[in-house]
Structure 1
């Protein structure tokens, strides 16, 4: 990797952490300068504006998160273990989030609105990717005879992702990761009702 590419990647990584902690609107170019240790010119030689940095930083954060999720799935065998593995990536969002500042999908989804449609579209695509991942796990479970074939995959997938993201939000807000553990406990019980014995 060339020096210029390394510097660009450094800006993306540090900005991803910054935006994930302070939010896009709450972070200024000066904050990015301080986080990266670069000059204003060093930033603007590589990015045209803060919006461009935000989009690439969100994409980077999503790749890091999905890398952790993929590893968790690959290390599990049953449908329930795979879904619990996805949840386990967020097991301690207060003290050990998957990315500094918490879940980038949750943080960006809460913050983005019609004022930054490109970032909203990226957050929506990330949400749909997570939803699709859970659907694939469940559909595979049906294919191999582990999950009941009459399972409403769309509804169950939405419930799983929404419950997980909600528990991450509740844990971050209350500064107590018990909410993720509670959701995992209840999801395991729910998923057991769909298992073919």
Structure 2
């Protein structure tokens, strides 16, 4: 049983890297068997379909990124610092992203469409969780008096995530971290304008 569970975990981990680099459509079961050294029959003993592997692979990749973000958040004491963490963990996205291949949410959201409802649902759940986490940080910032009381929480969360994912996309496409890093600087300046303490 233990061996079977380890085999399953290995399939998920290897598939997560594969899907996050090549995409769901660009990855085949043959690619998975080559990476894992497990024959198709062995794969199907653990998973009913490629879709099932993809869902668990995305969840695995997301958990790695979320843990990286969580550890970075624990080092911050301000709401502004915590929001910036989401971009800072991707400051070296080209050479050293939190998970190989870049942002799992961005990659899945870009590829999934109405033709892949299961994967699209996963991407939407990831989007909602990330926005909810950001909104909680912003709310804390307002309650602590760090941010202005009339700040639009939904708008700032959406803006932060858009700046993050946009920077990642441009940096990955160009092969240069400068886009993420410029966005970190721009978001820092913007957030300072939302802080009450800078007005005192």
Same fold (TM over 0.5): yes
CA offsets per residue over residues 128-176 of structure 1, 9 Å max, x none? Answer: 1111111111100111111110001111110000110010000000000
TM-score, length-scaled by structure 2: 0.96
User: How far did residue 70 of structure 1 move?
Assistant: 1.0
- Secondary structure of 2:160's aligned partner: helix
1:58-95 per-residue CA deviation (whole Å, 9 max, x = no partner) reads 11111111111111111111111111222111111110
Structure 1 runs, 4 residues or longer, greater than 4 Å off:
none
1:34 matched residue in structure 2 = 34
Q: For residues 87 and 164 of structure 2, what CA distance do their matches in structure 1 show?
A: 7
- Checking the alignment, whether the CA contact within 8 Å between 2:86 and 2:164 is kept in structure 1 is no
Q: Quick one: distance in 2 between partners of 1:69 and 1:132?
A: 14
Match of 1:130 in 2: 130
Counterpart of 2:15 in structure 1 is 15
The answer for the alignment partner of 2:140 in structure 1 is 140
The 5 A counterparts of 1:69-148 are 69-148=69-148
Count of paired positions:
197
5+ residue gaps, structure 2: none
Equivalent position of 1:170 in the other structure: 170
Does residue 161 of the first structure (1) align with residue 197 of the second (2)?
no
TM-score, normalized by length of structure 1? 0.98
Question: What's the counterpart of residue 196 of structure 1?
Answer: 196
Q: Distance in 1 between matches of 2:10 and 2:84?
A: 32
Of stretches 80-89 and 117-126 in structure 1, the one that deviates more from structure 2 is 80-89
Distance 2:84 2:160 in 1: 10
